[in-house]
A = this chain, B = another copy of it.
Amino acid sequence: MNTHQLEIFYHVAKFQSISRAAEALYISQPAVSSQIKKLESAYGVHLIEKNGQGIQLTAPGIQLYEIIRSFFENAIVSAESLLKNSSVLRISGNFLMTNFVIPQIFDHETNQANLIIKSTSSFNALTELKNGYCDLALISASSQPVLSADISVKKIFDDEIISVSKKPLEREVTSLIVSKSKIDVYKILEKNNPLFSHLPYTAVESTQDALSNININKNSATFISARFLKYFEKDYNYHYTGVKNGFYALYKSNNFHTDEILKLIEMIKSSTK
C-alpha cells in the first residue's frame, strides 16, 4: 500500500476535484491523475468516476476516504506541530470551553501563539487525547470520565445544567435535542420531570450541534451549562433543571508540557470562578 498515493487520493476526495487537489499539493494536474490511476489499477478498483466536467467518488472511494481521512486531517497535522515546534500546546475541547472560556482567558494575555485550539465534541476530544492528537482535552460530562491509566483528570468546575429553547419551554417546545455529553442528564429528567417525559428526543454529537439544530427547528430545546447562559441569554428562554454537570481537564501523565498544562488549568479555574 503506497501512502503517497493515499495522500494524493485524500486530497482528490476532499475537493472532489483533481485540479483542486493538484493546487493544494503544489504539483501538476496530470501527476495527480496518474497517481490515482496507479492506485486504482494496483487493486483493480474504481475510486473516482467522471461526472460532467469534473469527477466524483465511487462507493469504494467514499469508504476509502473515510478510512484515511482522520490520519491526514488529525495525525499529520499533530505530527508536524510536534516536530516543528515542541512548545506548541494542542488543546481539543468542547464548544463551550473552546469558544467562550479559552478566548476570555487570553483576551489580555499574549502567549496564545503557542496554542492550537480545536473545537469539537467532548467525545471526540477524548479520542483525540487518547490518540495523541492533542495535549489537553477540555470536556463536560455528567459523570466523571473513565479513562486509561496514563491519563490524568482534573475537575475544573461543577455546573448546573439548564434547558434552553427559542420558545417558552413549558408550552411551545415539541422536541429535545440532546448532546452526547448530557445524555445522562436527559435520562434522569425523562424519568423524574413531567416537563421532559413526554418530549421525543434526538441525540447529536455536541452542544454546538444541538444549538445549531434549534436555529433550524425553533420548537426544540437542548441542555447547556448555566454558567454559559450569559453568552446566549438574549436569544434563548431557559428553565432550570437542577442537575449537575462537571467540566474536566484531561491530559496524558507523561506529557512534556505538564507544567504548562497545570498552569493553564489553574488559569481556567480562576477565570470561571
A: residues with CB less than 8 A from B are 1, 3-4, 6-7, 42-43, 45, 59-60, 63-64, 66-68, 70-71, 75-76, 78-80, 82-84, 86, 127, 131-133, 143, 146-148, 180, 183, 187, 203, 205, 256
Q: Which residues of B contact A79 (CB under 8 A)?
A: 1, 6, 64, 67-68
- Asked whether, in the complex, the Cβ of A147 is within 8 Å of the Cβ of B67, the reply is no
Contact assessment for A70 and B183 in the assembled complex, using a CB-CB cutoff below 8 Å: no
List 8 contacting pairs A-B, 8 Å CB cutoff, sorted by A. Answer: A3-B7, A42-B83, A45-B86, A67-B75, A67-B82, A67-B133, A70-B75, A146-B203
Q: How far is the CB of A134 from chain B (nearest CB, A)?
A: 10
From residue A154, how far is it (CB to closest CB) to chain B in Å? 17
Residue pair A60, B75 in contact (C-beta under 8 Å):
no
How distant is the Cα of A87 from the Cα of B204 in the complex, in angstroms? 31
In the complex, which residues of chain B have a beta carbon less than 8 angstroms from the beta carbon of A42? 83
Across the interface, A75 reaches (CB within 8 A) one of B68, B83, B133, namely B68
Closest Cβ neighbor of A256 among chain B residues: B59
Known: A66-B131, A70-B131. 15 other contacts (CB 8 A): A43-B83, A43-B84, A45-B86, A59-B256, A60-B86, A64-B83, A66-B132, A67-B82, A67-B132, A68-B71, A68-B75, A68-B79, A70-B75, A143-B187, A146-B180
Task: Give chain A's interface secondary structure class.
Answer: helix
Is the Cβ of B83 less than 8 Å from the Cβ of A78?
no
A83 contact set on B, CB distance < 8 A: 42-43, 45, 60, 64
Are B82 and A78 neighbours in the complex by a CB distance under 8 Å? no
Residues of chain B contacted by A71 (CB below 8 angstroms): 68, 70-71, 75
Chain B residues closer than 8 Å to A127, beta-carbon distance: 127
Q: Which chain B residue lies CB-closest to A83?
A: B43
In the complex, which of the residues A64, A75, A205 has the most CB atoms of chain B within 10 Å of its own CB atom? A75
* CA A76 to CA B9, docked complex, whole Å: 14
Provide the residues of chain B in CB contact with A132, threshold 8 Å: 63, 66-67
For A180, the chain B residues whose CB sits under 8 A away are 146
Give the complex CA separation of A146 and B181 in angstroms: 10
Chain B, Cβ-Cβ closest to A77 = B1
A139 to chain B, nearest CB (A): 15
Q: Tell me which residues across on chain B come within 8 A of A183, comparing CB atoms.
A: 146
